[in-house]
Structure 1
């Protein structure tokens, strides 16, 4: 009989497509995933993956086993959700995935209020830009900037983040509008709405600095490098000035979502209420005019 934990590691590899991605999802070393998959192969006596120049490719037998593994894993996650949903108090750990800017600027500063209200609750807050899988229990609750389309999820709009153009006051005072230069995300994020909007406003004017991190954009703007598209509450917190370029702004809705199996769980409901309060309009929209 094979080890169920070996099957879990193989399922992650099959789902993610690479050792490194599977290791990140399971929060283990990639060598652990490799060892577990090899142990599963030895136990079942079937070659599940071809190892080609550092890449792992599922064999036909591996693909068949992966289908069964996904079903077993889905049922295991369902059992975990049922177990969490049955808990009637807040003496539980609730994991939340949120975009880093929301986790850092809107949730983090208010964590003491959550602790005072629910001292026995344990919160795991993950600041990440990727879309986590709630059915796979990569988190219990997620805040997203796009509306989910998975009908197994409970979802509600809890706020709106308004982006404006921000730069240092020295930068704006020293340049004419036609001479503005811009700060943007790197090419991996070219399709996010605020990046598309920034590039449209920039037109032929140059993007002189790119990064994959919003905080680095802010420090670059502080250093007079150029103009960045930032949430209003972030621009204000870095002491930046709103660039009145065509009075431009763009808004993105924030959606709170969790699996419907957890809708009656008191701990999840308590954290969801706290998160909604963190996204109240006066904490986001109304600061963009600064």
Structure 2
């Protein structure tokens, strides 16, 4: 087995490694093809050629997808080292790039992307038209350490020591309804656990299997009309009059929604964090995008005592 891996070390190129890792992570040829930007047949041929070159089977084809063999497990360790070396090479060379041109990859949520990052992109383009921003608003958290993105703007702070973080906002979360909903149902009565009222909830909170409350009020007497997996959909549901819902105060105010029980807030505030890798912080185009994102949030009402952990731009 060891001889096989040594042979792999002398003959395996980076393109082969990318395909091998993509199959391992996606567990299918179709998923791997989508990840590396090739068609499924090509990925299958490349895997077969790689296994012939190594004289070993790397994957078992099972009903649950592609699973590593013992030889594949050993190959995985070397492939991940090769991937990390390639990532380090790109990141450290880009970290001294002073050109205000090229691509910046940003990942965020759909709501933050629409309300804030889009404005930052517009301002960046006005100043530096040769910088192109690739914006990913999928619900999956991209891996900055593997350079799937250059900047992340998320509601969760990562704990990777190689990542630099900056808290952009801390917003209270209040209870909101549309004017139409209130005309049809009236306001809920404190202490009645939303009896007779319709509610819309953030789906991950429903799936956490804990006692659900809105701004401290139990909701067990209310009717949950819908669970939604993004804050943008939750805002849309409240705005459409589907029910009462918890929303970040500055965002709900922008939408013209009516705040219920304004003296109450949720125990959990809505935090927004910006994250980048320390090797990219002083890449000119990445730094410019960071500055514009931060400026947009600074212009939004909320807690201004942000914990800034990025070193200053230079």
Please state which band the TM-score falls in when normalised by the shorter chain. Answer: 0.7 to 0.9
Q: Which residue of 1 aligns with 2:270?
A: 252
Q: Which residue of 2 aligns with 1:85?
A: 95
Question: Helix, strand or coil: the match of 1:5?
Answer: helix
Long gaps (5+) in structure 2: 1-10, 189-193, 304-314
- Superposition map of 1:230-241 within 5 A: 230-241=247-258
Q: Which residue of 2 aligns with 1:149?
A: 159
Alpha-carbon spacing, 1:30–1:254, altered in 2? closer, same or farther (3 Å): farther
Question: Helix, strand or coil: the match of 1:138?
Answer: coil
Question: Normalised by the size of structure 2, how large is the TM-score?
Answer: 0.79
Alignment partner of 2:219 out of 199, 203, 219: 203
Kindly report the root-mean-square deviation, in angstroms, between the aligned alpha carbons of the 2 structures.
2.9
How far apart, in 2, do the equivalents of 1:159 and 1:146 lie?
12
Aligned-residue offset at 1:240: 2.0
Alignment partner of 2:119 out of 109, 117, 120: 109
Judging by fraction of residues, say which structure has more helix: 1
Aligned residues: 284
Q: Which residue of 1 aligns with 2:290?
A: 272
Structure ID, larger Rg: 2
- Greater alpha carbon shift after TM alignment, 259-268 vs 7-16: 7-16
Question: Helix, strand or coil: the match of 2:269?
Answer: strand
Long gaps (5+) in structure 1: none
Aligned-residue offset at 1:160: 2.1
How far apart, in 2, do the equivalents of 1:192 and 1:161 lie?
25
Question: Helix, strand or coil: the match of 2:84?
Answer: helix
How far apart, in 2, do the equivalents of 1:245 and 1:5 lie?
57
Q: Which residue of 2 aligns with 1:137?
A: 147
Cα offsets for 1:27-81 (capped at 9, x unmatched): 5566654444333223322111111125111111111101100000000001111
Question: Helix, strand or coil: the match of 1:73?
Answer: helix
Question: Helix, strand or coil: the match of 1:130?
Answer: coil
Contact 1:232 1:284 in 2 (8 A): no
